[in-house]
Amino acid sequence: MDKFTTLTGIAAPMPLVNIDTDMIIPKQFLKTIQRSGLGKNLFDEMRFNQDGSEIADFVLNQPAYRSAEIIIAGDNFGCGSSREHAPWALLDFGIRCVISTSFADIFFNNCFKNGILPIRLSEEQVGILMEDARKGANARMTVDLAAQTVTSSDGQVFSFEVDAFKKHCLLNGLDDIGLSLEKVSSIDAFEQTAGTKRPWV
Amino acid sequence: MTAPRTLYDKIWDDHVVHTSEDGTCLLYIDRHLVHEVTSPQAFEGLRMAGRKVRAPEKTIAVPDHNVPTTEGRDTHIDNEESRIQVEALDKNAKDFGINYYPVSDIRQGIVHIVGPEQGWTLPGMTVVCGDSHTATHGAFGALAHGIGTSEVEHVLATQTLIQKKSMNMKVEITGKLRPGVTAKDITLSVIGATGTAGGTGYVIEYCGEAIRDLSMEGRMTVCNMAIEGGARAGLIAPDEKTFAYVTGRPHAPKGEQLDAAIAYWKTLFTDEGAHFDKVVVLKGEEIEPVVTWGTSPEDVLGISGVVPHPESFTGGKIEAARRSLDYMGLEPGTPLKDIKIDAVFIGSCTNGRIEDLRAAAEVLKGKKIAPGVRGMVVPGSGLVRAQAEAEGLAQIFLDAGFEWRLAGCSMCLAMNPDQLAPGERCAATSNRNFEGRQGRGGRTHLLSPGMAAAAAVTGYLTDVRELMAETV
């Protein structure tokens, strides 16, 4: 997993609430057995007509936002299915950070496994950043994970909360499985005890 | 004397392997369910790192999401990408030695129907799957939730999951349901009341007389859609119905072990005075047969309602409702019963069990699908299908003009060839009405199996109670 430290980039405004994982990556693209290559299908049905031509007014098709690395989104971003193809598609497109008032639980967790930082801010703060993002490509925001701040293009600084363990993993690009396997003796011990207490499991 | 604990607290406490200083826990996983769509990259990750599946005997795989539901699929799947995914699962199950139900096996079906049916799902367990509807298994008083593919790999390698504890939420449904009102109406009504983010950060425990009165299958329908309310999981405390349901199933404990298990399962309830961080109470008597009108599962109304005006909402929901109505091709103020449908889908992990098929068949008996409407029944498993055939339900569906399919997820998410055409409107017993969910441009109205059958007969969204009155 790539580290996430600081990011300065273009933010795309997507004020729609309840942007679900079927919108982020429709199911016809879940048939892959790889993690890569999904960026071209990100937001497919919002981004392209049935004949494959671009829908001009969709935000990521507009010249100012084609190389966006941040999305400022409406409430409850990433609701729906557990498909990790959603963060894979965002990452493959180049999105490294999503800012919203709220995220669906599984999507939120999936982001951290893939070097994407989801940030929760208040409605007012998201509103300010949404307006900032609407200014287009010249309005670059900065996200600093170590300092836990988002800085708008005009210098307003907002602090955000992030789980300490998730932050540590993201800052260092750490593999969860390796970390958990360091606790293998605890897992062995648990299985011994549980095997006695609940032998039917 | 320990402090009073909720059901969730108890299951959690019994599965903590390790707690870090910051409260991050390593939670032991008792059952890991696997399907073909969210697992290939996880198995590939294991291979690349030279890792094994730690507990293959606790890992159960079945292809369901993109298998065709037509005959001949055990020898050939036309869609190459689907075929590759199913073949990859065949190979991964064999290479890693995990329990497996291939498409050729009568026990194959939707993973969340197969788990309980085979007795893999038991009270007090932790159950995960790379699928958000894993919440279904909460009906047994098991802590069950969906995970992403990285977490699938983590569970395969370690039989644990890195977790922080969620908050406790209680959803109580008091009193009795009225005739024609089902578990599906309960779960949709709860989402309508709390919104799709109402449960975010929580594990829900459903309780109250109306929940107690439900069968195990009804309870599975309720818990299945906990995720649509944003919750990590839904739970229902196990009781005699639960014990009776699991007893005798192939992988359930037997003899003395069953007695010991039941003694333990009887401790799985929320203690008097335990703290809930959020409480929602609905009156069972006030719940109507409901349908969804929009493209979010929170867009729920009683069947006697009318399509709402976007301006009746607040904040970002105004624009979302406008977009929904445009997508759904609906005008505000239209009575829901005036909405004409093109297709009916009966199936899914929400409503693909035998009682669901019985409820639909009860309405359809001796009737025909309205002209121009296409109906499809997709049983949740091969065993459900066989039972429905034995009970004569299949013949009722066929006589009414429905297609009678093989088991799978099918048109719930339309990864296989079962899809809506653009603009087609479907009354569906599934769980999501998102844009494009059942096929690009397809329009979905979520409802119960009885309501789906009623819509099939009239060709319009219909109050099932009107057809029930006819049969009395």
Q: What percent of chain B shows pLDDT beyond 70?
A: 99
Model confidence over B338-397: pLDDT tens digits?
999 999 999 999 999 999 999 999 999 999 999 999 999 999 999 999 999 999 999 999
- Dihedral sign for Cα atoms in the order A104, B207, B246, B265: positive
Model confidence at B179, in pLDDT bands (50, 70, 90)? very high
Average pLDDT value for chain A: 96
For residue A45, which residues of chain B lie inside 8 Å, CB to CB? 435-436, 440
- Kind plus residue range of the DSSP H or E element containing A134: none
Which B residues 171-200 touch A at CB under 8 Å? 196-197, 200
Cβ-based neighbours of B36, under 8 Å, separated by 6 or more: B63, B64, B65, B66, B67, B85, B86, B88, B89
Cβ-based neighbours of A124, under 8 Å, separated by 6 or more: none
The strand order across the sheet containing B143-146 reads B99-100, B59-61, B31-34, B126-129, B143-146
Question: Annotation-wise, does B409 bind a ligand?
Answer: yes
Which A residues 151-180 touch B at CB under 8 Å? 163-165, 176-177, 180
End-to-end Cα separation, chain B, in angstroms = 56
Rounded to a whole number of angstroms, the distance from the CA of B392 to the nearest CA of chain A is 34
C-alpha distances (whole Å) from B251 to each of B63, B118, B266, B297 are 19, 6, 20, 34
For residue A48, which residues of chain B lie inside 8 Å, CB to CB? none
Q: Is B119 on the interface with A (CB under 8 A)?
A: no
Name the H helices within chain A.
21-24, 44-47, 85-93, 105-112, 123-133, 164-172, 176-181, 184-197
B406, B429 Cβ separation under 8 angstroms:
no
**pTM of the predicted model, to two decimals?**
0.96
Q: Is B201 on the interface with A (CB under 8 A)?
A: yes
Q: Is B316 on the interface with A (CB under 8 A)?
A: yes
Model confidence over B93-113: pLDDT tens digits?
999 999 999 999 999 999 999
pLDDT score, position A31: 93
Q: Measured between CB atoms, which of B18, B153, B435 is closest to A183?
A: B18
Rounded to a whole number of angstroms, the distance from the CA of B380 to the nearest CA of chain A is 19
Contact between chains at B436 and A177 (C-beta distance less than 8 A): no
- Vertex B10, ends B7 and B12: CA angle to 5°? 110
Model confidence over B216-257: pLDDT tens digits?
999 999 999 999 999 999 999 999 999 999 999 999 999 999
Model confidence at A90, in pLDDT bands (50, 70, 90)? very high
Domains annotated on chain A, with CATH? 6-197 (3.20.19.10)
Model confidence over A97-109: pLDDT tens digits?
999 999 999 999 9
Contact between chains at B41 and A33 (C-beta distance less than 8 A): yes
For residue A74, which residues of chain B lie inside 8 Å, CB to CB? 316, 320
Domains annotated on chain B, with CATH? 17-166 (3.30.499.10), 291-471 (3.30.499.10)
Q: Is the pLDDT of residue B472 over 60?
A: no
Model confidence over B17-54: pLDDT tens digits?
999 998 899 999 999 999 999 999 999 999 999 999 99
Q: What is the largest CA-CA distance in chain A?
A: 63
Q: Is the pLDDT of residue A43 over 60?
A: yes
Which of A1, A29, A106 is best to mutate for the B interface (most B CBs within 10 A)?
A: A106
Residue of B nearest to A176 (CA): B154
CA A50 to chain centre: 26
As given in the structure block, the two tokens for residue B411 are 């048109």
C-alpha distances (whole Å) from B22 to each of A57, B159, B250, B410, B436 are 45, 22, 41, 43, 41
Nearest to B470 by CA among B455, B454, B459, B456: B454
DSSP string over B198-250? TTTTEEEEEESHHHHTS-HHHHHHHHHTTGGGT-SEEE----HHHHHHHTT-T
As given in the structure block, the two tokens for residue B308 are 């709402």
Rounded to a whole number of angstroms, the distance from the CA of B370 to the nearest CA of chain A is 30
Contact between chains at B132 and A106 (C-beta distance less than 8 A): yes
Model confidence at B451, in pLDDT bands (50, 70, 90)? very high
Interval A156-177 mean pLDDT:
95
Which B residues 146-165 touch A at CB under 8 Å? 146-151, 153-154, 157-160, 162, 164
Which A residues 4-33 touch B at CB under 8 Å? 15-18, 20, 22-23, 26-28, 30-33
Nearest to B374 by CA among B465, B437, B442: B442
Q: Is the pLDDT of residue A174 over 80?
A: yes
